[in-house]
């Protein structure tokens, strides 16, 4: 059982033994140095202020001492705790024992790829809406963050025991298809022969013409209306555009190693939008405003437009139909939208409307609202203002990883096929890590130098630390049968503490929708291990030390591997 549960259980039974209430106490992990213990609780402080009348003690510090007296007798703590102390104004600090550390390292080793897996989410379902590129355009770098952060959140919640449904809410419906259908028609193009670049060009040239010929707008509108009413000829062309785009996207997803459970794009809700309109009418929420149908929202928000004055349905209406569908089908605890901050207003409107419609409690809807990604010298876009193709960035990352390997002499002893595999894992991992190490809310910078660096907080640095740890235990497997008679040094203790806090970090990163908490935790582990490695040897003569350090190294490797897997980053066994 996880150490935190053992400690919490023991504290709880001590409180009960003293007839104190089960105050909602915290158990905080200490810092890496362990100066104030490995864990601390404020139970005495809370219990004292809650039960003042019932206690015979004068202050919380005294209560803390009394609690310690009881805990000293507690069976579940025998061998686990080396020392407890009461600290002003009334904390109890716990120091874990060497025996515990040893058992813990063994536990990490035994649980292997499952170390860190938990069951807090058992029986609960979460839907994550992520990636969601817009069809008939190349997969641009603008959808990188949603894809990478969304996938990490998916992995994290799954590891915590939730049933997670990933849904790629493809932008495959809407007025922009009216534009394309018009362009294809006017230029007498064969939809079978078009490439995705052609489609983007058609879109751009339409908007150029629009300045001088505003009547073209009506042409596009009427095409979309005909598409919405189900005209077979137009639907056939539309389907081709969707298929063409999906084939393109598949290559990007393959490079990224991302697979999304569902791909229910906006078009999936064509026949479900009427249900929302009916619900809204029934609840008297709809107002006609200049020919459009809207739901007025609270004063600070622009009303939610469901149907435009020309009768076309809106993106917002489709999002409401999506919520209705997801609630009915999955009854989720939470729906997470991993979408950029530019969608803030949109989701405020969607969430507010969904609440009014009675579909779901607004608190169960989360918009991650990630920041922008910029190049080192400004916005990441081509000169014509077009999006930067993600596929190009990813292949460049792999090429750069090859160069880095050549310079640093990495993987040079591996057969060529394996070298290629390593370059792919390093290149792709580096791009993902650059994104995931930062708080999703912040704007991030895309700087090749930092992304593909073997030093500092980078993907390659973590992968390299992992591969080196693997190399050591490859030479000599840790001996699991002996308990070494060894007193860990501070360097070693601080690594164990970090590994010990890994499980909690996973929960925190889920709670805050912040994979960066895991990324930075891994970085700390790698740094501590490398500091240790710089000062000490693992394969020393002294058997007791050697046994201990081998197992420590194995635990570091396992934690890095599991953590990177949560981030969607592969760790090469050899580098």
Tokens matching residue 318: 């489709």
- Our CB check for ligand ARG shows the closer of 132 and 528 to be 132
User: Read out DSSP for 378-435?
Assistant: EE-B-TTSPBPBHHHHHHHHHHHHHHHHHHHTTTTTS-HHHHHHHHHHHHHHHHHHHH
What minimum distance in Å lies between the beta carbon of 574 and ligand ARG?
39
Cα atoms in the Cβ-side hemisphere of radius 13 Å centred on 480: 12
Of 492, 502, 574, 500, the closest CA to residue 529 belongs to 492
* CA–CA separation, 216 and 162 (whole Å): 49
- Our CB check for ligand ARG shows the closer of 129 and 279 to be 129
Q: Give the rounded distance of the alpha carbon of 28 from its chain centre.
A: 24
- Our CB check for ligand ARG shows the closer of 38 and 167 to be 167
Q: Given candidates 66, 169, 364, 400, which one binds ligand ARG under the rule CB under 6 A?
A: 169
- Our CB check for ligand ARG shows the closer of 339 and 394 to be 339
Tokens matching residue 60: 């919380």
Q: 3-state SS of 143-197?
A: HHHHHHHHHHHHHHHHHCCCEEEEECCCECCCHHHHHHHHHHHHCCCCHHHCCHH
134 counts as binding ligand ARG under rule CB under 6 A = yes
Handedness of CA 70, 72, 76, 80 (dihedral sign): positive
* CA–CA separation, 209 and 220 (whole Å): 13
How many chain residues touch ligand ARG (CB under 6 A)? 9
- Our CB check for ligand ARG shows the closer of 388 and 571 to be 388
Contact by Cβ (8 Å): 258, 569: no
* CA–CA separation, 547 and 484 (whole Å): 7
Interacting residues of 50 by C-beta distance below 8 A, sequence separation 6+: 20, 21, 23
In the stretch 86-105, what mask flags binding to ligand ARG with x, by CB under 6 A?
A: --------------------
For Cα atoms 154, 156, 162, give the angle at the middle one, nearest 5 degrees.
75
- Our CB check for ligand ARG shows the closer of 143 and 507 to be 143
What minimum distance in Å lies between the beta carbon of 169 and ligand ARG?
4
What minimum distance in Å lies between the beta carbon of 538 and ligand ARG?
48
- Our CB check for ligand ARG shows the closer of 38 and 319 to be 319
What minimum distance in Å lies between the beta carbon of 129 and ligand ARG?
5
- Our CB check for ligand ARG shows the closer of 305 and 467 to be 305
- Our CB check for ligand ARG shows the closer of 126 and 560 to be 126
Residue nearest to ligand ARG (CB): 171
* CA–CA separation, 355 and 121 (whole Å): 24
What minimum distance in Å lies between the beta carbon of 339 and ligand ARG?
4
Contact by Cβ (8 Å): 546, 539: yes
What minimum distance in Å lies between the beta carbon of 438 and ligand ARG?
21
Q: Given candidates 38, 74, 98, 129, which one binds ligand ARG under the rule CB under 6 A?
A: 129
- What Å distances lie between residue 7 and 70, 493, 533, CA to CA? 13, 19, 32
Q: Which stretch binds ligand ARG (CB under 6 A): 53-61, 128-136, 200-208, 513-521?
A: 128-136
- Our CB check for ligand ARG shows the closer of 132 and 465 to be 132
Tokens matching residue 38: 């490995």
Structural element, H or E, at residue 350? helix 344-356
What minimum distance in Å lies between the beta carbon of 315 and ligand ARG?
7
In the stretch 502-541, what mask flags binding to ligand ARG with x, by CB under 6 A?
A: ----------------------------------------
Interacting residues of 547 by C-beta distance below 8 A, sequence separation 6+: 478, 479, 482, 484, 486
For Cα atoms 402, 525, 397, give the angle at the middle one, nearest 5 degrees.
20
Q: Given candidates 41, 42, 55, 132, which one binds ligand ARG under the rule CB under 6 A?
A: 132
Q: Given candidates 90, 171, 427, 572, which one binds ligand ARG under the rule CB under 6 A?
A: 171
What minimum distance in Å lies between the beta carbon of 101 and ligand ARG?
46
Q: Which stretch binds ligand ARG (CB under 6 A): 126-134, 356-364, 427-435, 480-488?
A: 126-134
- Our CB check for ligand ARG shows the closer of 336 and 411 to be 336
What minimum distance in Å lies between the beta carbon of 568 and ligand ARG?
19
- Our CB check for ligand ARG shows the closer of 169 and 437 to be 169
Of 251, 120, 225, 212, the closest CA to residue 173 belongs to 225
Q: Which stretch binds ligand ARG (CB under 6 A): 70-78, 129-137, 272-280, 415-423?
A: 129-137
In the stretch 311-340, what mask flags binding to ligand ARG with x, by CB under 6 A?
A: --------x--x--------------x-x-
Can you tell me whether residue 234 is helix, strand or coil? helix
131 counts as binding ligand ARG under rule CB under 6 A = no
What minimum distance in Å lies between the beta carbon of 201 and ligand ARG?
19
What minimum distance in Å lies between the beta carbon of 264 and ligand ARG?
10
What minimum distance in Å lies between the beta carbon of 388 and ligand ARG?
15
- Our CB check for ligand ARG shows the closer of 276 and 426 to be 276
What minimum distance in Å lies between the beta carbon of 41 and ligand ARG?
42
What minimum distance in Å lies between the beta carbon of 116 and ligand ARG?
29
137 counts as binding ligand ARG under rule CB under 6 A = no
- Tally of residues, the chain: 575
- Our CB check for ligand ARG shows the closer of 42 and 151 to be 151
* CA–CA separation, 436 and 438 (whole Å): 5
* CA–CA separation, 112 and 107 (whole Å): 8
Q: Which stretch binds ligand ARG (CB under 6 A): 127-135, 156-164, 277-285, 456-464?
A: 127-135
**Packing angle, helices 459-475 and 516-535, rounded to 10:** 50
- Give the binding site for ligand ARG (CB under 6 A): 129, 132, 134, 169, 171, 319, 322, 337, 339
């Amino acid at each position: 059982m996880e150490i935190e549960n053992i400690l919490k259980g023991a504290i709880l039974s001590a409180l009960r033994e003293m007839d104190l209430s089960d105050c909602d106490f915290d158990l905080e992990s200490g810092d890496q140095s362990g100066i104030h213990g490995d864990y601390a609780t404020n139970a005495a402080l809370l219990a004292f202020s809650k039960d003042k009348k019932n206690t015979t003690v004068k202050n919380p510090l005294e209560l803390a001492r009394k609690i310690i007296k009881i805990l000293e007798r507690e069976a579940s703590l025998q061998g686990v705790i080396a020392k407890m102390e009461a600290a002003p104004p009334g904390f109890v600090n716990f120091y874990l024992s060497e025996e515990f550390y040893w058992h813990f390292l063994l536990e990490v080793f035994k649980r292997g790829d499952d170390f860190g897996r938990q069951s807090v989410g058992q029986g609960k379902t979460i839907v994550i809406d992520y990636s969601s590129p817009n069809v008939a355009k190349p997969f641009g770098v603008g959808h990188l963050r949603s894809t990478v952060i969304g996938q990490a959140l998916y992995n994290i919640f799954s590891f915590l025991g939730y049933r997670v449904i990933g849904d790629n809410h493809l932008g495959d419906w809407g007025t922009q298809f009216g534009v394309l259908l018009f362009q294809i028609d006017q230029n007498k193009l064969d939809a079978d022969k078009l490439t995705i670049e052609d489609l983007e060009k058609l879109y751009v040239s339409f908007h150029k013409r629009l300045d001088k010929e505003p009547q073209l707008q009506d042409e596009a509108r009427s095409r979309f209306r005909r598409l919405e009413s189900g005209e077979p000829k137009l639907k056939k062309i539309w389907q081709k555009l969707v298929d063409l785009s999906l084939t393109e996207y598949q290559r990007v997803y393959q490079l990224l190693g991302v697979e999304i459970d569902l791909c229910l794009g906006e078009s999936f809700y064509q026949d479900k939008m009427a249900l929302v309109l009916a619900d809204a009418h029934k609840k008297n929420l709809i107002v006609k405003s200049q020919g459009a149908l809207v739901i007025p929202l609270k004063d600070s928000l622009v009303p939610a437009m469901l149907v435009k004055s020309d009768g076309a349905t809106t993106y917002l209406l489709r999002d409401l139909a999506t919520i209705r569908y997801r609630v009915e089908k999955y009854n989720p605890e939470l729906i997470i939208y991993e979408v950029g901050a530019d969608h803030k207003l949109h989701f405020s409107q969607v969430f507010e409307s969904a609440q009014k419609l009675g579909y779901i409690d607004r608190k169960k809807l989360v918009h991650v609202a990630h920041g922008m990604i910029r190049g080192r010298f400004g916005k990441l876009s081509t000169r014509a203002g077009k999006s930067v193709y993600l596929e190009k960035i990813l292949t460049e990352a792999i090429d750069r990883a090859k160069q880095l390997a050549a310079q640093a002499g990495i993987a040079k002893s591996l057969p060529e096929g394996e070298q290629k595999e390593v370059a792919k894992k390093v290149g792709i991992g580096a791009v993902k890590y650059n994104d995931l190490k930062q708080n999703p809310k912040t704007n991030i910078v895309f700087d090749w130098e930092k992304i593909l660096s073997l030093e500092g907080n980078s993907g390659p640095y973590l992968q390299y630390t992992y591969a080196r740890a693997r190399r050591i235990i490859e030479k000599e497997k840790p001996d699991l049968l002996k308990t070494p008679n060894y007193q860990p040094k501070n360097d070693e203790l601080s690594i164990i503490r970090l590994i010990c806090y890994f499980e909690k970090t996973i929960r925190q990163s889920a709670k805050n929708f912040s994979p960066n908490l895991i990324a930075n935790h891994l970085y700390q582990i790698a740094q501590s291990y490398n500091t240790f490695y710089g000062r000490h040897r693992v394969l020393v003569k002294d058997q007791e030390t050697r046994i201990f350090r081998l197992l420590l190294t194995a635990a570091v490797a396992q934690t890095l591997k599991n953590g990177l897997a949560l981030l969607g980053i592969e760790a090469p066994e050899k580098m």
